[in-house]
Each structure stands twice: as C-alpha cells, then as structure tokens.
Structure 1
Amino acid sequence: MSNTKEHKIISPKKLIEVALPLDDINAAAAREKSIRHGHPSTLHLWWARRPLAAARAVIFAQMVNDPSETVQGDKRLRETQLKITNEREKLFDIIRELVKWENTNNEEVLNKAREAIKESWRYTCALNKKHPQADELFNPEKLPAFHDPFAGGGAIPLEAQRLGLESYASDLNPVAVMINKAMIEIPPKFAGQAPVGPVPAGEKQGKLVEDWSGAKGLAEDVRRYGYWVREQAFKRIGHAYPQVLVTEGMASEREDLRPYVGEKLTVIAWLWARTAKSPNPAFSHVDVPLVSSFVVSGKKGKEAWVEPIISGDTYQFKVHTGKPDDLAKVKLGTSAGKWKAFNCLLSGSPISYDYLKSEGQAGRMGERLLSVVAEGKSGRVFINPTDEMVNIAKSITPSWKPSLDINYHPRDIKTQIYGMTKYGDLFTNRQLEMLTVFSDLVAEVREKVLVDLESQNNQKVDAQKYADAISTYLAFIVEQVANHSSTICGWNSANTQMRSVFARQALPMSWDYAECNVFSNSSGSFNNLFERMIKGFSSLGDGKVGNVEQADAACQKISQFKVVSTDPPYYDNIGYADLSDFFYVWMRRSLKSIYPELFSTLAVPKTEELVATPYRHGSKEKADSFFLDGMTNAIRSLAQQAHQAFPVSIYYAFKQSESKNEGTSSTGWETFLAAIIDAGFTIDGTWPVRTEKEGRAIGNGSNALASSVVLVCQKRQIDTNSVSRRQFQRELREEMPEALEAMIGGSTGASPIAPVDLAQAAIGPGMAIFSKYEAVLNQDGSKMSVHDALILINRAITDYLNPDSGNFDNDTLFCDDWFSQYGWGQGQFGEADTLARAKGTSVDGVRDAGVIESGGGKVRLLKWSEYPTDWDPKTDTRTPVWEACHQMIRVLNQQGEAEAGSLLAKMPERGEQIRQLAYHLYTLCERKKWAEEARAYNELIGSWHAIVAASHEVGHRGTQSELGLDF
C-alpha cells in the first residue's frame, strides 16, 4: 500500500484480515443486548448502536499484526506453522477476555490489549523507518489517532479511546454529535475531578477521601444537580401529578382496594384512549373510544381489565380485577381485528382508517381516560377514572410547544396522516409543560454550577466548560423523559409497564397510550431514567483525548492519517435524520446557547443524509443513485485519507437479506459493496457479527442472518488492470477452496465459522479477488456488476460444499440427492432405485447401511433421532459419511459434546468429511426454509471445536489433520 505512487508503505497483514474468534465475539455482542445497567447507551437513545464488544474486538484485530507476518522461520515447516497458530491463539485469548462485559473497564485486560497494539505498531514502524514520511506517519512512541466519520451512537470511537487511541468522531446529525461529545469528549476533560455540587438534602456527607477516578466525580455532580432539577421541577409542575385518595366508595366493589382506604397512592400512569366522532348518524355527536385492548394487566394472578358501561348515548369505564369471562372480546377492545380499524362502541358500526384520517386532519379527534395505574404495596393497582383526574390534566396550558413540522416519511412516521403534523402534537398539554419546565431548568442549573464553583474558589476546573458539561447531560435526561412522555407511548399489559416512543425505529400511530407520572419511581419516570443514566457513566472511564465535530462524511478531512472504523447508514433501513427531530426540538431548546453553531438550524439536516429514501428524492431510482454516489464519495474520502498501514473496517447491517438459488443477496448490500469498490477499496474480508440473543440465529422458517457484516478494506493499488470474466472464474476456482477450508476447517486456529454465518464470511475472499482489479470484463466488454460477481461467488461456495465435488461415498451422494427432493418424507421406490443406480449404489445397499427405511414401495431417510444408540463405527462394515454425520448429531443432542467427542475419537479420519457435509446440508436446508433441520447442522458445526477437544481427551489415534484441523 502507498500514500504516493513512489513510496510504498510496508503494511504487515493484520489479524482481522486472516482470522477472528468469531463465536466468542458474537456471544459477547449478543449478551450485551441484555445489559441495561451501566451501559453507556443509557445516556441517550440511538438507533442501531453497535455493541461495544464487537467494536472493541474489531479495532483491536484491525491494529495488531497477524503472527504469519511476524513469526520468523520457514513457513513451510510445521514447527513454524504451529508457532504461528500458538501466537495467534494468544491474540484470540486477549480478544476473548476483551469482549466480556465485566472486563469493560478491567485495566489489566485492557493493558494487555493496548500493549499488543503498541508492539505491532513498533514492528510496523521499524519496517517503515526509511519511508520519507516516517517522522509523521511512523512514530513508534505514539499510536496513530482514530476516526469514525459516521459516529452515530458513539460505540466505535468510545472503544478506540478505551484501547488507548486518541479518538475523533464526526457526524452530520447534531443529535449524534452531542451523544459523542457526552461519551468521548467531555469525560476525559474532567477525569479525576471531584464533585463540586452540594450534597442533596437528607443525604449524609460522604467520606473525607473518595475515589473520583475516571468519570466518577462528573457522574456524581450530574446526579447532585439532577436531584436539584427534579426538586425544582416538582415545585413548579408537581401539582399536575397529584396522588389518588382511595375512598370507601372506590373500595366498595373492589377487595383489592380495601387495604388502601384513606391512603393516598402515587400514580404511575394515566391510560388514555383516543376518540373520534361515531360515523353512525344516530351517535355522530358522541366521541367514541379507539381502544386496542381493554386488558390493562395480563400478569398471572394480577389480571385487570376495563369494562365500558353504556347508557344510551353515554358511556363510562369501570375497572375489574381477575380474569374476564370473555377474554378474547376484552382483548380486542373496540378494535375490528388485526389490520382493520375499529368499531363504534355504541352502535357497532365500522370505523375505517380512512374515516379516522379525515377526522384527525380536521382536528376532531380527542381522548378519554380509561384507567389510572397507581403504586400499591405489592404491585400495580388499577383505579376507575374520575372527572377530577381528567379536569386536572385538561387544566394545564403549556407555555411552549414545538412548532417544527414532522417530516414526511411514509414507512416510519405515521402520525401526520391522522392530523398530528407538528412535534408539539405528539404530547399532551401536561407533558408539554412538564418538558418545558425541565428544559428551562437546564439553563438555570448551568448558572447554579458557576455560582457553586465561584463560591468554592475552585481554580482546578474550567468553570464555563464544566457548567456546560453538566448542562449537556441534564439536557439528555429531558430527551429521555420525552421518549417516555408522549402520546405515542403504549401500555404493555403483559408486564404492566409503558412502552417508550422508540420501542422500534419509527414514530407509529398509537390509539391508546400511557401518560406516565414523571415524579413517580416507576418506568418512564425521571428518577428511573436518571438512575440508569448515572450508572452509564461507569463504562466511560477517563481514556485518551476525544474530539467530536459536525461534519459531512463525503467532504470531511478529519480522517487524514488516522485508523478508521465506521458504521455508515444502511441504504434505506433507518431515517435517522427524520427520527432525530423528535429529540432535536428539546435538545435545541436546552443547549442552543451553549452550542449555537451546532443548533443553528431549526431541524436536523436532511438533504445530505446518505439514506436511499424515495420520498425525498422523487423515485427509487433517484434514491439509489443518490445513495450510491454519496456513499462512494464518502468511502473514497476514507480510501484517500486513512492511514495506509491499517485496513479500514466498515460495518453493514445485513437486514434485507434474501436466500435464493443464487445465494444471499440484497439491493442495499450490493449497492453498498459497489460504492466501496468504486471508491477505490479492495475488500479483503467480510466478518458476520451477530448481535441477536442466543436462540434467534435461526427462526420463523428461515435463516435470521447476521445483523452486521464487518467489511475489511484496503486501498486498491494504483497500477491494477482489468481481467476477463473467465480469468475471474478461474481465480475463484483456484483460491476459494483454500479460503473456505480455512473458514470451515479452522486451519487458522480460530473456531470454524458457523454455517449460519458462512454465506457472508465467504463473500470476503471472493470479493477480494473481484475488487483487486480495476474491472472484471464480460465477453461483450461491459464491466461485471457486483450482483453478477456475488452470484459467481455464491456458486463457488455451493460447488465447494457439494458432496459431488469431494471424495464422498456413493451412499452419501444418494442420500444427499434424496434429501434435497423429499427431506424426511417418503418417495417412490422406483425413483429411489433409479437414483441409486445413477450414484453407483443400490436401495438395498443404502438400507443395509442403516440410513433409509424401504418397504411397501416407499423409501424414506431416517431422521437422526431414529438412529441406533449402540452404534460403533469400528464394527460397522458399511459406514457412509451421511450415517457418521447424523450419528454425531444424535449423540450431540442426546448426550452432549463430551460423548460426541468420544464418538469422533473412534473415526477421526471422518472428521473432515462430516464437517463438510454438515455445512452443505445446512446451506441446502437454509435455502429450502427448513429451519429445524438447519439448526441441527448449525449446532454440530458450532460445537465442533469442543467436540474435537473432547475427542483428544479420550486418546484417539487420529491426527489433527484427519479431523479437519490441519495447522
């Protein structure tokens, strides 16, 4: 690689270009999805934030040299290969420890990783000491800085900082910029700073000597001033959130309320239903409720539901406890069923969505209180609505209301079509005033911090910047409260908690909603969200310096000579800018005086956002062209600027995948690959990073593919030429088998890649061949498209895994073809006989091998669960690989990895073929949507390393090579 044509940089191959302990990374990333307390994501919501574990592992592997480049010796010698494998395993061990959540701030683990990075860097610097820019680019005493030009939620720059790199983050979106400032820029500035705010009243003064290392002091001050903000807010707006007095009358028909008579209970939430005028002429003067369900608590033993009591043209709601007689009817509310609208409560007349759109746009929709949820001694208490409760809510007049139009997004934002066209329309008056009060207090708390610092004559801290920092974090809590205080927030009756606005990546229409009491301690309250946010500081630490800017990725100059890892927008999956406006209106109100340039626009910039949204560009074709051109420019900027001693890693969310005969494909995926190649990169690897919880890898009848693919990219040589389609196919045939063997056989020392991930991972070596040339030319002279290249790459994968391409026995070839046609079902004997002859075997012979059942003119394959439990390959005189593979699956499922290892020890020479057949059968099942069958083969490969280890423990006589582990 080179920065100029004359002076080449000597860049040792990095670990990420050769091998990764992918299973360990995926397991840690999936586990992180369940982490709620102490995770920095609790500072502020961001859509599609990368797992910290994955980001940390990718950057580490991107920066350390692969031992094949640094281990001295004759690489043809087995001793050298073993040494490389051992050294690689040491790096894998560092990654395995590094990705564990409990090691997020473990300095011992982090220092091992940092030292490995420094050691690789010093080695690279020594190789390039004669480079004319050595002083600038290869200072062995200083690591290169890091940059993420699509910083988004900040996970990637945060992990670069944690690994010891000075971290730069940039994004066009002001909300993303502020999140990154809060995560990587502000904490290091005040590392070790003791808190300056007064201890909240009623709390005991802390010890004389406290540990204020890292961001602990900053977090404590945010907590102290946040407490003051809540107390001040309660004084100003608390009267709008009164407690409920339980009276004798309320408890007369409710035994569950009897213990609370005379007590005031804290309200958790008010449950409202939107209303519309009845379309029935007889009741057109009545606002009837639009209720998705009358069930308010589905918890076992604590069921509660609402009954509408109708009297002529009026109605009221009454809460009952216990199970209703007609649960199905109660669950339906006034809904007309899935994908349908509603029925009039009074007349039963249908209420269509078109009618509701016209009513909403005419401003004729209202709301009706269904029930009140209060905090009891042992759980939630549901209370009938009263006029007093409604009157208090209606009496509030907001002093400010966001007037920003909600941007049109036909897929993700639905509120405008029902008349809610401005962001202020998404809140009740009470919510608007409450959020305005909190927002105003952010400005007030800044002045309070300055006064406190002045009174203490504290010279150790920049007072203005510290006050700005505290205000920034407290502005975040306003947005978090907004995310839980909107009429988009639904009520989850199963766990009796409210849903946030962004329970998914959209602003959907909500017909009934929960208005939480922000001054309670339950879900959605200030205290609940604030406590989680404070715990999020624990994973920030002090780290290296962080720098954050607002910048367009297509024209930024920040990446110059920096290590780059980034997570760009995903084609058309998420409209970040459109959704961000929800937070921006409150963030701008709170922080415009502190960051005037960042909040100079009324809304989040959208024109330059690299998302393929047809509604914004006029057509799908124009949107595709905009995305491809813009992404190509942005990636080209990285190819030209990034430090050439390191590959660039780019994440892509693989969420539009389709499994077809020609393999895995997606419009967004192909467009993204084309942008990277057109920008001047070669693609050296594609690593699938799964972030779903365990058990969701395969489901719903099809393969749930990796939620992210990390592409490893290098700048393409300037003097590359074009090749023919025939030459490209020849290179695929010559090079893909070795690459695939490394992936499925683990010859690099890593665990074999699971079948569920193989389709994406195998694209890497195929695209490495395709992208290293200026172009691959078809017979007519036209340039081969990425789509066509992917078809050929997927075909090469299929050809390699096909038993016909290897030395498989005839019985296995018969079973494979039969399975492809019938699965575990029956077929005609005549067809089986014809197929068996073609494969060089016979139906009787395959039956004698013990893998099929034949009789009554029918033939079927035996399922693995039907295989005999006393099977011994040493005494079996006819053992097709098919039988050995399915016996391995049986033992693994029924007895575990140790016994499967014992079985493998009896037939080590079969290991390679068993593994290859499992990959092939998984691929076949995945394409046929046979989810259960696919799972069995995926689990066998997933356990392969453990099975092999167990086979060694029982003292088999086979070699590692025989087991498909040829190092």
Structure 2
Amino acid sequence: MTAIKTPKKLIEVALPLDDINAAAAREKSIRHGHPSTLHLWWARRPLAAARAVIFAQMVNDPGGERGYYAGKTRAQADAEREELFDILRDLVKWENTNNEEVLARARAAIAKSWRETCHLNRNHPGAAELFNPDQLPAFHDPFAGGGALPLEAQRLGLESYASDLNPVAVTINKAMIEIPPRFAGRAPVGPEVETERGTKKANKRVFDDWSGARGLAEDVRRYGAWMREQALERIGHLYPKVEVTAEILADNVGPSGAADLGGYKNAGLAGMEAGQELTVIAWLWARTVKSPNPAFSHVDVPLVSTFILSSKAGKEAWVQPVVEGDSYRFEVKTGTPPAEAKNGTKLARGANFRCLMSGVPIEPAYIKAEGIAGRMGAKLMAIVAEGGRARLYLAPMREHEVIAKEAEAEWRPDVDIPPDKRSMFTPLYGLTKFSDLFTDRQLVALTTFSDLVPEAITRIRADAIAAGMPDDGRGLDAGGEGATAYAEAVGVYLAFSTDKASDYWSSICTWHSSKELIRNTFGRQAIPMTWDYAETNPFSDSAGNVSSGIEWAYKALQLMPSKAGGAGVQSDAQTQTISADKLISTDPPYYDNIGYADLSDFFYVWLRRSLRPIFPGLYATLAVPKAEELVATPYRHGGKEKAETFFMDGMTAAMSNLAQQAHPAFPVTIYYAFKQSDTKEGAGTHSTGWETFLEAVLRAGFALTGTWPMRTELSNRMIGSGTNALASSIVLVCRKRESTAESISRRDFQRQLREEMPEALETMIGGESGQSPIAPVDLAQAAIGPGMAIYSQYEAVLNQDGSRMSVHDALILINRAITEYLSPDSGSFDSETQFCSSWFEQHGWAAGQFGEADTLSRAKGTNVDRVKTSGVLESGAGKVRLLRWKEYESDWDPARDTHTNIWEACHQMIRRLSNQGESAAGELLAKMPEKGEAIRQLAYHLYTLCERNKWADDARAYNELIASWHAIVAASHQVGHTGEQLSF
C-alpha cells in the first residue's frame, strides 16, 4: 500500500507563542462585535487562539525533514518560517479579524501548503478524493460548543462543520456559520420603525452595500426595535417610572450643596424639577424569611449581603434599615456609609445572617427549611433610576412594590433544575425549578418577548415577499433560502436577544455597587444562590435592557465571515461520521469542570418556546439531553468512580472516531483547559481530569507530536496569591499512531527521556526555531509534549512485571526529567549556586542552623564563608540566612566582582529589572554575557520550587525575568559586549 506523505506542519515545530497569547488575553476585554456577545457559552476559546492553531495546523513547516522540504538549508527554512510567523502575528490581532489583506495572505499560505502536499501524494491511489489541489479539505469540530473554532476555520476559507449534542450549542453554531453565508448579500426587508423616542429610526445606519451579513444584521435591528415597541405597549405598565417630588428634592439638599449640582448633594438630582418622571433602571429586593426569634416570628426579616448601593467616590449611597417596634422600613442615605452597612445582615459566608429585629443569628439550616417549605419571600429595598449626572437611589415606594407583585405569569418554565450540588445551589433553598429563578414580572416579560418572535417571523415573511424576495415555501431547517427561511433566520437572532436578556432578568442577578449596574446570572459557571437581587427594567437604557441584546446581535453579525459554507448539526461525537476526511480541531468537555447541559437548560427553556416551530427536532425534549454528555458528573452516574469510567470510555470512543476519520495529511488539535492543578513532590503538575483525558486520547490510537500552552486569561491573573498559575488551555497536537508501533520497556523509555528531553527543553526555554521562550509558568505543560511524544509513539511502555505503564506514571517520569534538567545539581552550575539552591529549597528566605549549612556547603564543594563573601548570605550567632534580592548591593558591577556565582548574578538581574526596567537589566547582562544561559536556567528552576511551595511573590519575580528575557537580551546587544550570548 502506498504510504501517504505528510510534511510536518508548523504547529508541530514552532509558534510565535507570545504573540498568540497576548492577542488571546487582549480579546477577553473585547465586546463590541465579538461573537461571544451573540449568546453566552462557557469556556469559549478566544478567536485569536483558534485562528492561529488552525492556520498553523494547515501550513507546512519549512524546516521539515520529510517530503517536500528535504534538503533545504537551515537559513532558508528559518527565513520562510519567519514569514509564516509574520502572517500569524498579523492574523491574531483583533483589529485584523476581517482584514481581507491579512486573511488573503493566510489563505494563500494555506493553499500553497495544500498544493505542495497534494503534489507529494499525486500518485497515491486515493489522490482524487483526498488530494485535490483545487479543493481544500473541509473542517469539523465534533464538540463545537460556543463555535469559535468552526467560525475561524470558515474565516480562513474552509467549508466548516460544527456538531454538538447540546441544542443550545447547535443553535449558536447555526447562527454563526450556517445562517450568515446562506443569506449573505441581501438587502434588509424591514420598514422603518417609529419608536417611543419620536422620529428616531431603527435603521438609521445604512451601508453603501449590503455585502456579507449586513442586510441580515440590519433586519435584526429593525424587527428587534419593533418587538420592543410591541412589548412596551403590552407590558409597559408593569414598569412604572419615578416621579421627582418636592419631598425627594427636599430630602437631598446638601448643607452646602455644590453649585454645579443645583444645591443637591445627590448628583442624580442635578437639573431636576418636581414633577419630572425618571425611568427606573432596577428595583433592588431582599429575600426574606420569618424571624427565628419567637418574639418576632410574624416578621419577614431581610437576608441582605450588603446595604451598599454605590461605592463610587463622591457618589456613595446605602440603605439604612429603620426598626420601629415590630416592623421596619428602608431608607436611602448618601455620603460616607457606616462600616456596618458593608455586610448588610450577613454574619459570615454562605447562608449565615442575623435577624434585623432581634440580632439573633439565622442559621443556614433554618433558611434552607424555610425555602424548601415555600416560605421565602421578598421585600423591595431600594429603587435605582436614571438621574441627571448619576444614578439616583431612592427608598422603596409602596406603589412600585404592589405593581411588581400584581404581575401574573401565564406560562412558567417548570423544568427541574438538575441536582448537581457543585454548580446548582438554588435547590438547597427551595428554588428547584427554572421558573423559581424569576420573579412573576420577569416571567411575564420573558414570555412576552418569546411570544413576539413568531409574530415577528410572520411579519418578516410578509415584508420579504412584498420586497420581491422569492419564497420556496421551505423553512430554515429544511434548507430553504426564500422568504420563509429568511424570516425564520432573523427570528433566530431575535430569540437570542430575548435569551440573552434572561441572563439579566432573573432573581439571581445582583447590583454591582462599584460599577452601578446589574450583574448577570452567569458571573461564573454555576447558578449561585443570591439574597439581595436586582430586577432590571427591560425598557431602560442601562445594562440588561432588551435593546442591548439586539445591538449585540447586530454588531456580531456584521463581523461574521459569511463566505464559505457551513453547517451546525446535532450529533454524538462518539458515533458521528461528519469528520470523514476533514481537518479537525476541537475543544471537548473538560472531565468534570463544567456541566454544560445542566447550565444551558437555563437558556433552553426560553429558546424552545421561540424556536421549536423552526427546529422541531432540535427542541423536541423538555430539557437539554444529558445522558450521553461526556462530562464526569457523579450525580448522574452514581459516584465519582463510575463517572470517571463513563468519561474515559466515552472520550476514548470519541477520540477513536476522530483518529479513524481525520484527514491523513493533517494533525488533529485538541484543547484541554485545566480546572486546577496540584503540585506534588516528584510529580510536577498533576490533575485527575487531565490524566484521564490524556489517557483517553492515547487509548484512542493517537500519538502526541506537540503540546502548546495557550493563555486565555488576562496577564494579571496568571499568578495568584498562594496558588499555582497555569495557562488556561493546553493544545494537544496529535497524529494517528503508526500501525506498526511496538512496545518498549520502562528502562528504554527512561533512557529516551534522558537523551531527548534536554534538547527539547533547551529549545523551549532558549526560544530556538524562532519561537519565544516558554515562560516558567507554562513550562510544565509545554514539556509534556516532547515527553508524551516519546511515550505515545509506542504501542505500550511496559513495566518490569509486564503491565502497561499508565499516563500518570509517565507524567511523573517526564516531570522528573524536567526537574533534573533544571536542577543546579545537574553539573552546569558552580558550587555556591548549588548550595544556595538546596538551602533555598529547604528554608526559603528563613534562617537555619549554621551546622546544617556547613554540612550542606561542604557536600557541594564549598563552605559558608565563601558563600557569605559573595554577598548572597548572612551568617552569625549560629544562624544562616539567604539574602533576598532587595538586600543586594545596589551598585553591584560584575566587572569588579572577583568571583560572581550564578545565584548572585540571577538575583542581581531580578533586582535591576524590578527597580530599573528591561534596558537597565540588559546593560547588566552585557557585562556578563557568558552567564546568560545559566541565569535563565536557574530562574526556571527557582520558579518551579516557588510554585511547588506556593510562594507566589517569589515565583512572580522569576517568571517576570524569563518573560522579559528577549527584551533584556535585545537591550544588552544595543549596549554591546564581548563573549558568548544567547540568540533571540
């Protein structure tokens, strides 16, 4: 059989990792136009990382030793690789997301590599099907989730397929990659819409052309405005405005009110007159239970986590409870709040409160019992209105509370909240159904908007036909492209805008006192229990209003690629056949980290009400299908062990399916995100979920050819206080293991690690092959790649008793090889540095006994006095202590130092970098260039020690030295020096 020739891809050799990570981190702060604003999804991959990985997965590495590039010189290969790096650096920038010049260069590089690969395989029997130079392979993600990977594959010019079991995820992917190309280039059909604000038109922004999805986006805007006006007519009375009364004005006159505020101490009243009506932004409520004190058992006392309304400097406001006999009321005060206002009636974390009436503690068990019995209520605590120059905070008004409680919901999503105690906390307090998470007024609003979607679809279809759009009578699900399908397409985005609103329209939402706006339900990957909650006004201009959901969809749609075809499909990754002969990049569930199906029920119940007529098969069930979801959820499977077995078996089947179907010319890339890690002695980074996942990948028949740490968190969160800091994602690069792979012994595996790991590690920390050096914070994950590449290329690694070595044991040996390479005892360091490193490992910066130090120093070939003379150690009164870098000589010059050890040089570099910056550190390095490699290696080693011991501040110092290394080396070259130096 003719073997397929597969040139190594760029991702298997080198990446400009710093540029990719910087763009991915920056993207976290991007909102306008980002696809994530279309609909919430958990742990969505950054577009920058997705785009970079898929590009690097498709282009051939210029320095490959096999096939097309054999015989090319190193200089030629490096120059061509740098050209690909330049494309990548431009490609990952957010401002280039739809830059056609940049995308054209990327697509051209992909096409060039594809033609080269096809040429290599022109004589293969399957060439006509597998290697057509005029047709790029299609893309598939079998765990599509939020759709970042399929979207970016489509942006790079590939026909894109996205599949998932979850109907919410499938709908998101249809909205991103399937619908926009189908209706690209069409002008909007919706008429101008008069709004309550007078002559302002919903379609004020008009384009010279309606290319891409612009026309579709404009219709979403127009019909979204129509829905808002319709809803305002039907339920606007449930959202009363606030009248500015003379009493309110009088209560807010300051003793020496600022002139520019008209004499009022509240900026929200600036320029206001009695009789004016203000739109309410939010109503702030406190949940209540009956007082546990028998004397006040008839009183519903508030459970309030904070009485602070605004903590902004100069705009402080808080709620003041006033107890009057056996009742109480709330007042709103401005100015500096008393200290006790911060914690409300809360005594401690969790459901621990005090009775406002008697001061006695209210235990969690009591609150849970009251909630389960249905006796938990709510009391209006304050009103937030749109003021003059600031938010206006007002005491609760009786008529507002009455109107809110008069709302009657005609329909309720009475679907059970899954009993997962790790992420679903409300059932503990009696809120067991999704309908319990909403007030009656919120249910009325959500039902109204959901029911307006099919009404809007009917209207859109009629308008489309009137505008001359042909109608084939087929809907969106049947592949229609006429007026019926177009109307349903717009309806999908309108349903999304309502669904997005539900994230802000639940009684889980709280008030953010420092930002003065609503916090949404999903501030994290869970549905928490909240006590004082904020009920937003859908018709305000503040966060969570319905118009903002429409605007998000409008802006996101404009940036959709809308060119290459795409499809979102509901399918099980274990059995799907969509992957056949396609490029695959995927982001599977992370063991037990996120219960996607459980969480997405929150949205599913509302989408189903609007979209079931459009996608009857997709929304056939009352809740999201969960039985086959590949998440190790103990409550579903009867315990942790059974859940792990379910995950292992299912993920192995899914990965085997990919290994069998993936296009043979490309590696498969798989993302894995760490929930947490534990650093254990001799074992390095360890995570049960990670090991289980990796075991499944290898059992499926994959061999690893690389691992890349992708940073998708903001840089200031990479190192936390007392915690391990990890790259948020690891990208595994996999190829199908050779069918002729043999087994080797444990001893042979260890021998290969000793022989091959040092070179691989030097490439990582030295930044060879053109890539930036891997930061210490990421090294443990990145180094898994070369180690597991050795382990996974064999059918099995056999222990002495003939059993197969587990992934866990292989990782221990790999991490041991990393530790040995970085250790100063490896022979690369002077004896003083070896002593300091061992002493630091045992004592940190604390003092220890002289006798112990004397014994250790002699074992390392030195003595305490010699180390002290170098200026890095303090010795006296029978005690020995390493000096911190801050205690080092400020005017130290290695040219005047008769004996500079690596420990001293490393910490002097840290002192210089911290105090004076990269240029000054570069000047220092220029005076001792021959020590650069050892300094950097020691920094890696010491970071590892600090990370293991949870010394976060010290770890940060070593990590920052490595992170700045390229700039430091560049600065040293600008100064000029003699001697050997590191390349950069």
Q: Does 1:183 align with 2:204?
A: no
Please say which of residues 149-158 and 799-808 is displaced more in the overlay: 799-808
Q: Does 1:94 align with 2:84?
A: no
Which amino acid is the alignment partner of residue 101 of structure 1? W
Give the deviation of 1:211 after TM superposition: 2.8
Report what 2:691 is aligned to: 670
Give the deviation of 1:203 after TM superposition: 4.0
**8 Å Cα contact 1:152/1:177 also seen in 2:** yes
So what's the TM-score if we normalise by structure 1?
Answer: 0.96
Q: Does 1:453 align with 2:464?
A: yes
SS in 1 for 2:309: strand
Q: Does 1:216 align with 2:205?
A: no
SS in 2 for 1:748: helix
Q: Does 1:241 align with 2:261?
A: no
Give the deviation of 1:254 after TM superposition: 2.5
RMSD after superposition: 1.8
Report what 1:166 is aligned to: 159
SS in 1 for 2:347: coil
Q: Does 1:63 align with 2:84?
A: no
Partner Cα distance (1:891, 1:598) in 2: 61
Cα shift readout 1:717-769 (whole Å, capped 9, x = no counterpart): 11212111111111111111111111111121111100000000001111111
**8 Å Cα contact 1:268/1:373 also seen in 2:** yes
Report what 1:470 is aligned to: 490
SS in 2 for 1:891: helix
Please say which of residues 855-864 and 136-145 is displaced more in the overlay: 855-864
Report what 1:630 is aligned to: 650
**8 Å Cα contact 2:217/2:553 also seen in 1:** no
Report what 1:122 is aligned to: 115
Report what 2:259 is aligned to: none
SS in 2 for 1:391: helix
Report what 2:290 is aligned to: 277
Give the deviation of 1:165 after TM superposition: 0.7
Partner Cα distance (1:845, 1:73) in 2: 58
**8 Å Cα contact 2:284/2:511 also seen in 1:** yes
Give the deviation of 1:701 after TM superposition: 1.6
Work out which of the residue numbers 430, 440, 447 in structure 2 matches 1:429: 440
Work out which of the residue numbers 741, 745, 752 in structure 1 matches 2:762: 741
Q: Does 1:807 align with 2:828?
A: yes
Report what 2:640 is aligned to: 620
Question: How do residues 735-814 of structure 1 correspond to structure 2 at under 5 angstroms?
Answer: 735-814=756-835
**8 Å Cα contact 1:276/1:364 also seen in 2:** yes
Report what 1:264 is aligned to: 277
Work out which of the residue numbers 99, 104, 111 in structure 2 matches 1:111: 104
Q: Does 1:412 align with 2:423?
A: yes
SS in 2 for 1:289: strand
Distance change >3 Å, CA 543–CA 657, structure 1 → 2:
farther
Report what 2:256 is aligned to: none
Work out which of the residue numbers 18, 21, 31 in structure 2 matches 1:26: 21
**8 Å Cα contact 1:911/1:964 also seen in 2:** no
Cα shift readout 1:528-581 (whole Å, capped 9, x = no counterpart): 332233222233132311111000111000000000000000100111101111
Which structure 1 segments of 5+ residues have no match?
A: 1-5
Work out which of the residue numbers 309, 315, 319 in structure 2 matches 1:302: 315
**8 Å Cα contact 2:318/2:334 also seen in 1:** yes
SS in 1 for 2:769: coil
Partner Cα distance (1:597, 1:484) in 2: 28
SS in 1 for 2:414: coil
**8 Å Cα contact 1:655/1:705 also seen in 2:** no
Which amino acid is the alignment partner of residue 397 of structure 1? E
Question: How do residues 491-890 of structure 1 correspond to structure 2 at under 5 angstroms?
Answer: 491-661=511-681, 662-890=683-911
Give the deviation of 1:71 after TM superposition: 10
Partner Cα distance (1:545, 1:33) in 2: 28
Partner Cα distance (2:69, 2:9) in 1: 20
Distance change >3 Å, CA 854–CA 317, structure 1 → 2:
same
Give the deviation of 1:669 after TM superposition: 0.4
Partner Cα distance (1:607, 1:260) in 2: 60
**8 Å Cα contact 1:151/1:157 also seen in 2:** yes
Please say which of residues 490-499 and 667-676 is displaced more in the overlay: 490-499
Distance change >3 Å, CA 412–CA 319, structure 1 → 2:
same
Report what 1:369 is aligned to: 380
Please say which of residues 459-468 and 204-213 is displaced more in the overlay: 204-213
Distance change >3 Å, CA 340–CA 222, structure 1 → 2:
closer
Give the deviation of 1:215 after TM superposition: 1.6
Partner Cα distance (1:887, 1:354) in 2: 57
**8 Å Cα contact 1:243/1:264 also seen in 2:** yes
Please say which of residues 754-763 and 239-248 is displaced more in the overlay: 239-248
Distance change >3 Å, CA 905–CA 73, structure 1 → 2:
farther
SS in 1 for 2:118: helix
**8 Å Cα contact 1:873/1:907 also seen in 2:** yes
**8 Å Cα contact 1:910/1:963 also seen in 2:** no
Partner Cα distance (2:317, 2:161) in 1: 52
Report what 2:262 is aligned to: none
Cα shift readout 1:601-644 (whole Å, capped 9, x = no counterpart): 11100000000011110111100000000000011100000111
Which amino acid is the alignment partner of residue 533 of structure 1? A
Distance change >3 Å, CA 627–CA 209, structure 1 → 2:
closer
Which amino acid is the alignment partner of residue 227 of structure 1? A
SS in 2 for 1:319: strand
Which amino acid is the alignment partner of residue 523 of structure 2? A
Q: Does 1:144 align with 2:164?
A: no
SS in 2 for 1:484: coil
Q: Does 1:291 align with 2:304?
A: yes
Q: Does 1:338 align with 2:341?
A: no
**8 Å Cα contact 1:849/1:878 also seen in 2:** yes
Partner Cα distance (1:72, 1:771) in 2: 23
Give the deviation of 1:848 after TM superposition: 2.5
Give the deviation of 1:279 after TM superposition: 1.8
Report what 1:900 is aligned to: 921
Give the deviation of 1:340 after TM superposition: 4.8
Cα shift readout 1:156-192 (whole Å, capped 9, x = no counterpart): 1001111111100000000000000111111111222
Partner Cα distance (2:59, 2:273) in 1: 64
Which amino acid is the alignment partner of residue 963 of structure 1? L
Partner Cα distance (2:960, 2:97) in 1: 29
Which amino acid is the alignment partner of residue 735 of structure 2? Q
Give the deviation of 1:208 after TM superposition: 8.7
Give the deviation of 1:72 after TM superposition: 10
Cα shift readout 1:775-799 (whole Å, capped 9, x = no counterpart): 1111111111111111111001001
Please say which of residues 736-745 and 834-843 is displaced more in the overlay: 834-843
**8 Å Cα contact 1:912/1:964 also seen in 2:** no
Give the deviation of 1:378 after TM superposition: 0.7
Report what 2:325 is aligned to: 312
Partner Cα distance (1:644, 1:509) in 2: 49
Partner Cα distance (2:679, 2:274) in 1: 62
Distance change >3 Å, CA 795–CA 234, structure 1 → 2:
same
Report what 1:3 is aligned to: none
Partner Cα distance (1:447, 1:184) in 2: 24
Report what 2:128 is aligned to: 135
Percent sequence identity over matched residues? 65
Please say which of residues 337-346 and 764-773 is displaced more in the overlay: 337-346
Report what 2:260 is aligned to: none
Partner Cα distance (2:621, 2:309) in 1: 42
Report what 1:392 is aligned to: 403
Which amino acid is the alignment partner of residue 678 of structure 1? R
Which amino acid is the alignment partner of residue 759 of structure 1? A
**8 Å Cα contact 1:71/1:84 also seen in 2:** no
Distance change >3 Å, CA 74–CA 857, structure 1 → 2:
farther
Distance change >3 Å, CA 892–CA 209, structure 1 → 2:
closer
Which structure 2 segments of 5+ residues have no match?
A: 254-265, 472-480
Partner Cα distance (1:808, 1:846) in 2: 14
Partner Cα distance (1:48, 1:63) in 2: 25
SS in 2 for 1:272: strand
Partner Cα distance (2:49, 2:408) in 1: 48
Distance change >3 Å, CA 220–CA 501, structure 1 → 2:
same
